[in-house]
Amino acid sequence: MIENADFLTAFSIHRLRGEAPPPDLAILLGHRDALVRQTGFAFDSSSSWAPWLDTSYLRESEWANPDIRANVKAIAEVCASIDFVAADEERNYFGYWRGQADINVSQAPIVRLDNEGQFDFCGTTNLAGAILTAGGGGLFEEVRSWMQGIGIGSLPTVPYDLFDVDIHPSPRQLHRTLYEKLLIEEQRG
C-alpha cells in the first residue's frame, strides 16, 4: 500500500491540479480504507485514473453513429472541467466542478457523472455530504455518525437535505450545448 503522505501528494497532483484538498476531503483521504468499507466509495491517486473516459465498450457500429460520437466527445469536454476524486461501486464518479471559469477547488460545487453519462450537482457543500446522500438513505445515520466521529462537520441532517446549485452553465447545460454543436459537426462529417 502507498504510504499516506505519498498518496496525498499524488492525489493532490493528479486529482486536484496541485491544490490542497478541502478539509472534508483531506479527512476522508486519511480514512480511505474505512470509507470503502463504510460506503463503497474509493479514491485513486494515479495519473491515469479516468474510467469515465473509457469507450472500449462501444462497438464499431456504434462509433459509426454521429449521435454517439457527438455525445462521447461532449462528455469528455465537460469532464475536462471537473476534478474527479471518487467513485462508487456502481461506476458513478464524483468531483469538483471547476467550470469554464476554472475556479479553485475550495469553491467548486460537487458534481456527479452517473453511469448513464448524465451530469448533476450533488446539492451539498462538500464531498462528504455528496457521499453521504448518494446512498439514498440506506445506512445514512451510521455513515453520518462515522463521518462526524472522524471530524467532518457540515453534513446533511437527512438523506435528502440538499439544495439547488445555481451556477450557469451547469455541467448538464454545457454537455447539452456541446453535444448539439458537435452533432452538427459529426453529421457534416
Cα–Cα distance for residue pair 100/106, rounded to 1 Å:
16
Average pLDDT across the chain, whole number: 93
Cα–Cα distance for residue pair 10/7, rounded to 1 Å:
5
Given a contact cutoff of 8 angstroms between Cβ atoms, the answer to whether 108 and 127 are in contact is no
Give the Cα-Cα-Cα angle 130, 78, 109 (nearest 5 degrees): 30
pLDDT single digits (tens) 19-57: 999 999 999 999 999 999 999 999 999 999 999 999 999
**H helices present in 55-170, as ranges:** 60-63, 66-79, 127-134, 140-149
At 39 the three-state DSSP class reads: helix
Cα–Cα distance for residue pair 99/167, rounded to 1 Å:
9
Task: With CA atoms as reference, report the closest residue to 23 among 171, 135, 155, 143.
Answer: 155
Cα–Cα distance for residue pair 165/172, rounded to 1 Å:
12
Instruction: Tell me the Cα Rg of the chain.
Output: 17
- Find residue 93's DSSP bridge partners: 87, 113
Beta strand ranges found along 43-138 (DSSP E): 82-87, 93-97, 110-113, 119-121
- Predicted pLDDT of residue 1: 46
Least confident range from 5-19, 63-77, 125-139: namely 125-139
Cα–Cα distance for residue pair 173/94, rounded to 1 Å:
17
162 confidence band (pLDDT: 50, 70, 90): confident
Cα–Cα distance for residue pair 99/121, rounded to 1 Å:
12
